[in-house]
Structure formats: structure tokens, C-alpha cells
Amino acid sequence: MRSMNIVDSWGQACLVINQSLPYKSLNGMMKINLKNRRILKQTLSYRPFSSVTVSAIATTREDEKVVKEEEEEEGAKMENEFNFKVYVAEKAISVNKALDEAIIVKDPPMIHEAMRYSLLAGGKRVRPMLCIAACDLVGGNQGNAMAAACAIEMIHTMSLIHDDLPCMDDDDLRRGKPTNHKVYGEDVAVLAGDALLAFAFEYLATATIEVSPSRILVAVAELAKSVGTEGLVAGQVADLACTGNPNVGLEMLEFIHIHKTAALLEASVVIGAILGGGADEEVDKLRRFARCIGLLFQVVDDILDVTKSSEELGKTAGKDLAVDKTTYPKLLGLEKAKEFAAELNGEAKQQLAAFDSHKAAPLIALADYIAYRQN
């Protein structure tokens, strides 16, 4: 009966996708001025006891320790005071557990081990947290958004595996560990990324609970759009074409990062709002918020690449400079890049002003985390 409902809802879902939840550009949505110009013009069955499993367990134990310690420290404080450190630790535990259960090792074992190697290698889980927080904000719950949160992290992991390949950014280190192709070979790394991409959509479509079929279809379409030629792929192609080109300007740089980085972060928030039952107006405000923090994430990434070490970042520092890649510090200078990051953070928070401040606290804190992170 559920599959029949999904089919019957297809026409309605397509109408929603095409009309009330468009993939709009930022042109006309916001004005963030830097040197008197408009910014953001573009659109934007068995588990071996392996090192991967140990890594996941270690992360979970650290998060559980944080939760326990922070709860003890905060016991005397007001119950409604938001504790970001506890929030992050609790969500990381839930997301890591769901990811571990979503992909198990089965025949053929090598491909599933390779998928799990990168998926469970740590990471900040910012995108899943954004998805869950947006869902909560509009009246949903974590259960409604967890499958989507995992699907988004699978796609993000796919993009990292492929981005690290010799034919792309050619990197040896990711999240403090050898990149996937260094461990499993380029052939298996490509296939592991492909498998994560395919399974992400299957998991979103079949594991989402207590959400109408029409909203699940809209979420699937939103996710697909963020990955394809209107999202991540477009940004990656433009990035490759511009590497080493000394004439890349700010407008092209914005195009690259609004697509390559911001699109999936935007989808994380928007999908959470869709699955949580958000109204069109709420989804639109959260889309604007997400597009700001999506670009903010990349601006900060560019800044960290020239101010932090490889040990601090968990990936190769100074790589952008080494391959003559255009970045915000390169075009604007380090201080202006920092000013731009602050402007983006402020604009993002303005989009949340109409929401309940208590419910919006996780998204506000996540925006600050993205702005002030150190790796």
C-alpha cells in the first residue's frame, strides 16, 4: 500500500518541486556588500572488528563522555539554556550509530569495507546535524530526518572520495587518515563512491519514517538536484577548469563554491525542513539561511588552508596554494576574506529571526561553529 501511495503522489510531488520549492538563485534574495558590489550572484550481515569499526566506537565513546561531563557541569543551570557541545555530541552519537547500521559488510566484502572506511572515518557531521536541526525547527523530529541525514552524509563522503582521486585534487590525507584510494586502490575508491551515491537515494526513499510519500519525493528531488549539474558536479567541473588560471574572478569563484560546497549544505537544511512538515515560507527562509552558511563554510575552509597545519586540519594544508587554485584569501586578502565570512554569518542569522529563538538555537550555534571552526 505504501508503494502505491508513492506512485499516486508523484504528480502532486512534481507540482510542489516545480512551483513551491524551486531551486532559486540568490540574486535579489540578499545584499551582502563588499567593496560596494553584490556578492552571491549564483544559484546555488556481519561486522568485522576492523580499524574502521574501532574508529567509530572511539568517536562514540568520546561523544558519550562529553555528554556525561557537560550534563554534570550544567546540572545547576536553567533547563532551557542551549548547550551546543552536548547537542553536537548527542547528534554525533545518533548519526554515527545510524550510519554504522545502514551499511554492513556483506558480499562482496571489499566494496562494503571501502564504503565504511570513509563513511565511518570521523568527520564533523555538520550536514546531518543541519538536517536534523531544520526538521526540529519546523515541528518535525529526529526520526523523520535521520534517514535523510545519513543519505546526505553518504553523498558528502562520496564527494570526498572522488575529490581526493589523482585525476581530481590528488590528495593523500583525509580526516587524518590515508585517503580511500591509497588504501583500496583507485578502482575500488571510484566504485565505493558510486555505491555510496546510489545507496543514499535508496536509503532516503525506503528508510524515512512518519513522513508523507509526497514529501519524501520532494526530498529525493532536492537531493538529486544538489548533486548534479545544478549543484556539486557543476562546481567541481568549474573548479577543475579554473585551477591554475590566473584570471579567475570573484564571480566565478562564487559560482564554484555555491555549487561545489554550498549546494549540499543547502540541501541538508531544506530537506530537513521538508521532511519536518515545513510550510513553503519556512522552507524558503531556511534555504536562504543555508545558502549563506554554505558559502561561509567554503570561505572559512579557504582561510584555514592558509592559516593552519596539516595536523590541525586532518588534511593536506596549503594544497590550494600549491596547485595555484583561486581562493577567497587569494582574491580578497586574508582580512577581507574574514570580513566576508562575518557578513555571511550575520546574514544567515537574520533569516532565522522569524522562528522561535529556542528552537532556532541549534542552527544559530551551527552557523557560529562553521564561522569559527578551527579545522
Q: How confident is the model at residue 47 (pLDDT cuts 50, 70, 90)?
A: very low
What are the CA-CA distances from residue 373 to residues 18, 107, 296, 304 (Å)?
A: 36, 39, 11, 9
In this predicted structure, the answer to whether residue 345 has a pLDDT above a threshold of 80 is yes
Give residue 60's pLDDT. Answer: 55
Residue 67 lies in a domain: no
Provide the pLDDT confidence category of residue 17 given band limits of 50, 70 and 90.
very low
Name the nearest CA neighbour of 111 among 200, 198, 206, 196: 196
| CATH code, domain with 282 | 1.10.600.10
Going by the DSSP 8-state scheme, the letter that residue 316 receives in this structure is -
C-alpha 186, offset from chain centre: 24
Residue 335 has pLDDT above 50, yes or no: yes
The pLDDT of 317-335, averaged and rounded, is 79
| Confidence class for position 246, pLDDT limits 50, 70, 90 | confident
Indicate the pLDDT class of residue 14, thresholds 50, 70 and 90: very low
Closest CA to 117 of 24, 54, 46: 54
Residue 257 pLDDT > 80: yes
Instruction: Indicate whether 237 belongs to any domain.
Output: yes
Question: Do 321 and 303 contact (CB within 8 A), yes or no?
Answer: no
Residue 48 has pLDDT above 70, yes or no: no
* 375 pLDDT tier (thresholds 50, 70, 90): confident
Give me the mean pLDDT over the 332-359 stretch. 95
C-alpha distance from residue 98 to each of 56, 139, 345, 375 (Å): 11, 22, 30, 24
For residue 325, name the pLDDT band (cuts at 50, 70, 90). confident
Total domains present in the chain: 1
pLDDT at 171 > cutoff 50: yes
State yes or no: pLDDT of 342 exceeds 50: yes
* pTM attached to this predicted model: 0.79
Tell me the average pLDDT of the chain: 82
Q: How confident is the model at residue 308 (pLDDT cuts 50, 70, 90)?
A: confident
Per-residue pLDDT band at 306 (split at 50, 70, 90): confident
13 in a structural domain: no
Which residue range forms the structural domain that includes residue 208? 88-372
Residue 136 has pLDDT above 80, yes or no: yes
User: Is the distance from CB of 123 to CB of 129 less than 8 angstroms?
Assistant: no
Examine residue 28 and state whether it is found in any structural domain, yes or no: no
Cell readout for 87 is: 547537542
Residue type, 276: G
- The answer as to whether 105 is a domain residue is yes
Weakest-pLDDT range from 132-146, 269-283, 303-317, 346-360: 303-317
Residue with cell 545518533: 94
Binned at pLDDT 50, 70 and 90, residue 332 comes out as very high
Band (pLDDT 50/70/90 cuts) for residue 232 is very high
**pLDDT category of residue 317 using cuts at 50, 70 and 90:** low
Contact 305, 267 (CB under 8 A): no
Cβ within 8 Å of residue 87, ≥6 positions away: 129, 362, 365
pLDDT number for residue 57: 33
Considering only 27-36, 279-288, 357-366, which range has the smallest mean pLDDT?
27-36
Here the cell at position 364 is 544559530
Question: Does 241 reside within a domain?
Answer: yes
The phi and psi torsions of 79 (rounded to 5 degrees) equal -65, -30
Q: Is the pLDDT of residue 235 over 80?
A: yes
Determine the average pLDDT of the residues in 156-174.
Answer: 92
pLDDT at 55 over 70: no
Confirm whether 68 is domain-assigned.
Answer: no
Asked whether residue 74 is domain-assigned, the answer is no
